[in-house]
Amino acid sequence: MRILITGIVVFVIWCFVSAWLYNDKLLPVLNKPVPEMTIPESQINAADSLMKLKALMPMDLPIYFEFNEAKFKADPQTDNSIAEFKAWLDKYPGSMLSVTGHADLVGTPEYNQDLGLKRAQIIGKYLEDQGISAGRIITESKGESQPAASFITKEGRAKNRRTEISIKM
């Protein structure tokens, strides 16, 4: 019987203490008004103008290659896209073109890295022939490290044999 009475007394004390903690300590903290953070107008305008600028930027241009090849044959659609990049570079002199070569998984990583670089250099040379200054072109290779699709299917591997042209600000 003593255990039962002791348990009831401890329970009642626990109820009073927890009610006191909740009402006097926790509720005032929860009901405090949260200060609103205001962003200066200049930061909002800068972010908005950057978003507008990115929206106007030409989309990345992928150029696909045959298996184990670094040969490129120009077509009118590619020429039109490159003309957009050239116009952008003329309008924004602080921007650069990034030409990144990629390869599929067939072959050693070193070979694929080299093949990706050859593909990027071929496209870089073509861009120079189209009137874009070599000083504004950055060529690099990612080899097989950044696939655009799965390596399992033939179609996926074909999508990974590419060079991507993009604008860097």
User: 142 φ, ψ to 5°?
Assistant: -110, 0
Please state, as a whole number, how many other Cβ atoms lie within 10 Å of the Cβ of residue 114: 17
How many Cβ atoms are within 10 Å of 25's Cβ, its own excluded? Answer: 9
Count of positions (residues) in the chain: 169
Note the pLDDT tens digit of each residue in 117-160. Answer: 999 999 999 999 999 999 999 999 998 888 888 878 888 888 88
Instruction: Please give the Cα distance from 76 to 83 (Å, whole number).
Output: 10
CATH class of the domain whose range is 50-168:
alpha beta
Question: What's the pLDDT score for residue 20?
Answer: 86
pTM for this structure?
0.68
Which pLDDT tens digit goes with each residue over 67-90? Answer: 888 888 888 888 888 999 999 989
DSSP string, 43-71: HHHHHHHHHHHHHHSPPPEEEE--TT---
- What is residue 42's predicted lDDT score, i.e. its pLDDT? 65
